[in-house]
Amino acid sequence: MGDIYDNVIELARRRGFVWPSSECYGAVAGFIDYGPLGAMLKRKIENLWRGFYIIREGYYEIEAPTVGVESIYIASGHVKGFADKMCQCPVCKEYHRADHIADEHGTAHADSLSTEELAGIINGLPCPSCGEPLENADVFYFNLMFQTTIGPGSQRTGYLRPETAQGIFIDFNRLSRFYREKLPFGAVQIGKSYRNEISPRQGMIRLREFTQAEAEIFIHPDHKDHPEFSRYADYSVSLWGQTHQMQDIEPVTPTMREAVDSGLVANEYVAYYISLTHEFLTQVGINPKKLRFRQHLPTECAHYALDCWDAEIFSERFGWVEAVGIADRTDYDLKAHAKESGDKFSVFVPYDEVRYEQRRTIVPDMGALGPHYRGKAKAVADALIESEPGPDGATITLDGESLFIPADLYQIREETIEVRGEEVIPHVVEPSYGIDRILYCTLEHAYEEEDVEGEIRKVLHLNPAIAPVQAAVFPLMNKDGLDTIARNLALELQKTGILAQYDDNGAIGRRYRRQDEIGTPYTITIDYDTLKDHTVTLRERDSMQQVRLLASTVPETLSRLIQGTLPFAEAGRKI
Select from 258-266, 318-326, 410-418, 543-551 the region that touches ligand GAP (CB under 6 A).
Answer: 318-326
CB of 537 to ligand GAP, least distance (A): 41
Q: Is residue 163 at the binding interface for ligand GAP, with CB under 6 A as the rule?
A: yes
Of 377 and 428, the one with the shorter C-beta distance to ligand GAP is: 428
Burial 31-49 (b: 16+ CB within 10 A, else e): ebebbebbebbbebbbebb
Q: Is residue 73 at the binding interface for ligand GAP, with CB under 6 A as the rule?
A: no
Of 169 and 272, the one with the shorter C-beta distance to ligand GAP is: 169
Which H or E run includes 273?
A: helix 268-284
Among 98, 183, 323, 381, binds ligand GAP (CB under 6 A): 323
Count the site residues for ligand GAP by CB under 6 A: 18
Q: Is residue 325 at the binding interface for ligand GAP, with CB under 6 A as the rule?
A: yes
Residue 245 DSSP class: H
Q: Is residue 210 at the binding interface for ligand GAP, with CB under 6 A as the rule?
A: yes
CB of 216 to ligand GAP, least distance (A): 9
Burial 556-571 (b: 16+ CB within 10 A, else e): ebbbebbeeeeebeeb
Of 331 and 436, the one with the shorter C-beta distance to ligand GAP is: 436
Q: Is residue 465 at the binding interface for ligand GAP, with CB under 6 A as the rule?
A: no
Q: Is residue 207 at the binding interface for ligand GAP, with CB under 6 A as the rule?
A: yes
Of 265 and 439, the one with the shorter C-beta distance to ligand GAP is: 439
Q: Is residue 330 at the binding interface for ligand GAP, with CB under 6 A as the rule?
A: no
Among 12, 165, 217, 260, binds ligand GAP (CB under 6 A): 165
β pairing state of 156-160 and 67-69:
antiparallel
Separate counts of helices (H) and strands (E) for the chain: 19, 28
Q: Is residue 307 at the binding interface for ligand GAP, with CB under 6 A as the rule?
A: no
Among 434, 475, 519, 555, binds ligand GAP (CB under 6 A): 434
CB of 356 to ligand GAP, least distance (A): 43
Q: How many angstroms separate the CA atoms of 558 and 568, rounded?
A: 10
Q: Is residue 444 at the binding interface for ligand GAP, with CB under 6 A as the rule?
A: no
Neighbours of 177 (CB within 10 A): 10
CB of 208 to ligand GAP, least distance (A): 7
Helix (H, G, I), strand (E, B) or coil at 516: helix
Burial 345-373 (b: 16+ CB within 10 A, else e): bbbebeeeeeeeeeeeebebeeeebeeeb
Of 145 and 561, the one with the shorter C-beta distance to ligand GAP is: 145
Neighbours of 501 (CB within 10 A): 20
Q: Is residue 212 at the binding interface for ligand GAP, with CB under 6 A as the rule?
A: yes
Of 191 and 572, the one with the shorter C-beta distance to ligand GAP is: 191
Name the β-bridge partners of 20. Answer: 32
Helix (H, G, I), strand (E, B) or coil at 7: helix
Among 432, 525, 530, 535, binds ligand GAP (CB under 6 A): 432
Q: With helix as H, strand as E and coil as C, how does 30-92 read?
A: CCEEECHHHHHHHHHHHHHHHHHHHHHCCCEECCCCCEEEHHHHHHCCHHHHCEEEEEECCCC
Select from 52-60, 223-231, 241-249, 426-434 the region that touches ligand GAP (CB under 6 A).
Answer: 426-434
Q: How many angstroms separate the CA atoms of 142 and 156, rounded?
A: 21
- Give the CB-nearest residue to ligand GAP: 434
Q: Is residue 197 at the binding interface for ligand GAP, with CB under 6 A as the rule?
A: yes
Q: How many angstroms separate the CA atoms of 96 and 134, rounded?
A: 11
Q: Is residue 214 at the binding interface for ligand GAP, with CB under 6 A as the rule?
A: yes
Select from 173-181, 205-213, 460-468, 561-569 the region that touches ligand GAP (CB under 6 A).
Answer: 205-213
Backbone angles phi, psi at 45, to 5 degrees: -65, -40
Q: Is residue 333 at the binding interface for ligand GAP, with CB under 6 A as the rule?
A: no
Q: Is residue 81 at the binding interface for ligand GAP, with CB under 6 A as the rule?
A: no
- Residues in region 216-235 near ligand GAP by CB under 6 A: none
Among 97, 292, 437, 445, binds ligand GAP (CB under 6 A): 437
CA dihedral sign of residues 102, 163, 51, 541: negative
Contact by Cβ (8 Å): 425, 344: no
Residue 209 DSSP class: E
CB of 212 to ligand GAP, least distance (A): 5
Q: How many angstroms separate the CA atoms of 132 and 492, rounded?
A: 63
Q: Is residue 519 at the binding interface for ligand GAP, with CB under 6 A as the rule?
A: no
Q: Is residue 431 at the binding interface for ligand GAP, with CB under 6 A as the rule?
A: no
CB of 321 to ligand GAP, least distance (A): 8
Residue 493 neighbours by CB under 8 Å, 6+ apart: 471, 473, 500, 554, 555, 558
Separation of first and last alpha carbons in the chain = 32
Binding residues for ligand GAP, per CB under 6 A? Answer: 163, 165, 195, 197, 206-207, 210, 212, 214, 322-325, 430, 432, 434, 436-437
